Chains A and B, each alone.
Chain A
């Protein structure tokens, strides 16, 4: 089935099998920052923004996303740049595997205007960090959110 996806502003028209997951289509298009950590909707490493909301791209069929606007961790604008910079300074990445999911989710939280540390923690709860560096990640997001 032919579908259209706008990824980080670039329009892609691709022919996909209905059983194909969004995460695989994105990776095959070259968006390798979108990671497959668990393939069971548990870890959140595959999180991308779909029409402004975070979704686990391993738990969405590509055909469901037809026509959607997708942002990955490679997306660039002022907020995303600030987040990347804050992640570096706060040592918010250790092995880095969860980082793309953390960045996309954090981007959504900052854009939405998170109001407290509690909201940041709840907001990031769908992304697991096996290196368990949560506090540094939370600190980085708080800084960019102005908390």
Chain B
């Protein structure tokens, strides 16, 4: 059994922030799809779990010029999103059961180095909106993920939502050992192509370092040129050179490097 904890259910954002900032041993509970396994394994333990699952202010999803995704939007809600890039990411997360409960905000806050949303949001250049005891902040995604399981969130602070533009073109390519497993490596590309030339591209990868990273050399290489087979081949090569993949029980660094190259090739091929 999971060791005892106190359970507090909150119904509003101020209430959530209040409890979280007053209680030092408190953590928010969103979908629980990462937190509950961690509690079971004793890799995390808290005196208080603050169930934010019923906080209305965190449950919104708007598609305008800017896409606004509330922290409590569940993975499955993006499986049929009008933004194709989001669909491509959502359907590759875990399995339908995990997607029923897991949230985008939880995924960002958890910052699992092999989580799909942090890498996808890097490619999108999203802004992370937070709410905390000192008010609301907007943090650029590039400054949000600080390391494996580490973010720019301060004590008592929550991810409230994300904002970004749906890219004119995008692709998400993920390699995993099993269908519903975490990635060995994945590549997210958001780009605009005008008259056959790439006007801009943001390329992010996971499994290319100890955290999700942008592949800046690949981005630079793509800028302003047509997406020919030669360009794609050199981008794939540059990605493998730029990467410092981790080795773990899932894969060796060399294997990840090879996969990364293929993922870049396929992602660019799909733009």
> Which residue numbers of A lie inside 8 Å of B, CB to CB?
1, 17-21, 39-41, 44, 47, 50, 53-56, 59-61, 63-64, 105, 108, 122-123, 125-126
In contact, A53 and B100 (Cβ under 8 angstroms):
yes
Chain A residues near B3 (CB, 8 Å)?
19
- Indicate if B71 sits at the interface (CB-CB under 8 A): no
Q: Of all chain B residues, which has the CB nearest A126?
A: B95
Distance in angstroms between the alpha carbons of A9 and B259 in the assembled complex: 49
In contact, A126 and B98 (Cβ under 8 angstroms):
yes
Which of B32-40, B142-150, B152-160, B189-197 is found at the contact surface with chain A? B32-40
State whether A59 and B53 are in contact (beta carbons under 8 Å apart), knowing that A44-B97, A50-B100 are contacts in the complex: no
Chain A residues near B51 (CB, 8 Å)?
63-64
Chain A residues near B4 (CB, 8 Å)?
17-19
In contact, B96 and A54 (Cβ under 8 angstroms):
yes
In contact, A54 and B100 (Cβ under 8 angstroms):
yes
Which of B5-13, B15-23, B103-111, B203-211 is found at the contact surface with chain A? B5-13
In contact, A40 and B101 (Cβ under 8 angstroms):
no
In contact, B53 and A18 (Cβ under 8 angstroms):
no
Q: How far is the CB of A33 from chain B (nearest CB, A)?
A: 17
State whether A55 and B100 are in contact (beta carbons under 8 Å apart), knowing that A41-B36, A61-B32, A125-B179 are contacts in the complex: yes
Q: Of all chain B residues, which has the CB nearest A53?
A: B100
Distance in angstroms between the alpha carbons of A21 and B53 in the assembled complex: 16
The B77-104 residues at the A interface (CB cut-off 8 A) are 91, 94-98, 100-101
> Which residue numbers of B lie inside 8 Å of A, CB to CB?
1-7, 9, 29, 32-33, 36-37, 40, 49, 51, 53, 76, 91, 94-98, 100-101, 179-180
Distance in angstroms between the alpha carbons of A63 and B9 in the assembled complex: 9
Which listed residue (B32, B37, B94) contacts A126, Cβ 8 A?
Answer: B94
Q: Of all chain B residues, which has the CB nearest A104?
A: B97
In contact, A126 and B33 (Cβ under 8 angstroms):
no
State whether A122 and B101 are in contact (beta carbons under 8 Å apart), knowing that A41-B36, A64-B53 are contacts in the complex: no
In contact, B6 and A40 (Cβ under 8 angstroms):
no
